[in-house]
Structure 1
């Protein structure tokens, strides 16, 4: 299931104009992916793919070090992992700058477990759940 969720996530975020970052970032079975979008005034991180429970909720996971996904500490660990790799240094610097400037937007892409859909059927827009970074 993790491989299929990863492939679905990659497909969805590509349509949103995002770049998928290499690696896995915790979550169920350690399979969550992370994507990055640069806009004029902010940087958006998209985490996923999460499966909504029967009540429409989802859980953020914890890293091996015990940091909750999208906490400031977790984001700093992500930055530290991306910086040494020349192929992701740009993204690491942009994420760090946005975090320090309060311009980092955190989103989670979720799959509705009942309908098996990612998007609102009326608008065909992918549902992204925004999260405050603390």
Structure 2
């Protein structure tokens, strides 16, 4: 018999293990920091004429957003917002959507797939997004905040 046998009553059951240390409530999309980060991302993406995709796509506390759009002949994908402190490196989420690294071809394909399930976005833009992901011709960019300099930066990345 497993703990799942006890779920037949449709009620919560204990999972037979307790954390060894006290755990805190992490930042989520409703926390003050998450709302501030989301606002910064939305402001920058909107000013650049990008379309912000619904949802979150990995990152610290799964709060990274994605925006897409065209800039001349380039098709842009901007994601973030990440934060960096002095002496630290930018950390891409190694398991952003399932087991896939942010910025990888597989991660991009899963974003396309998830957005295809959501039919409230411009179909022409989504078709172009899908085409550029498949052809690996998308311009991949990371938005991050340098906490020491209090400066927003965009870093171009190669698709992994």
Q: Where on the TM-score scale, by shorter chain, does this alignment land: which range?
A: 0.7 to 0.9
Equivalent residue of 1:128, what SS? Answer: strand
Matched, 1:104 2:130: no
Name which of 27, 31, 43 aligns with 2:59.
Answer: 27
State the 1:42 CA deviation: 2.2
Q: 5+ residue gaps in structure 2? A: 1-32
Q: Which has the larger radius of gyration?
A: 2
Distance 2:60 2:77 in 1: 18
Q: TM-score, normalised by structure 2?
A: 0.72
State the 1:75 CA deviation: 0.6
Equivalent residue of 1:48, what SS? Answer: strand
State the 1:3 CA deviation: 1.4
Matched, 1:40 2:72: yes
Equivalent residue of 2:151, what SS? Answer: coil
1:60 corresponding residue in structure 2: 92
Paired residues of 1:83 and 1:93 also in contact (CA < 8 A): no
Distance 1:40 1:103 in 2: 13
Matched, 1:114 2:151: no
1:14 corresponding residue in structure 2: 46
State the 1:64 CA deviation: 4.4
1:85 corresponding residue in structure 2: 118
Distance 2:134 2:144 in 1: 27
Q: Which runs of 4+ in 1 moved over 3 A?
A: 89-92
Q: 5+ residue gaps in structure 1? A: 119-126
Distance 1:112 1:56 in 2: 10
Q: TM-score, normalised by structure 1?
A: 0.85
Matched, 1:94 2:128: yes
RMSD: 1.6
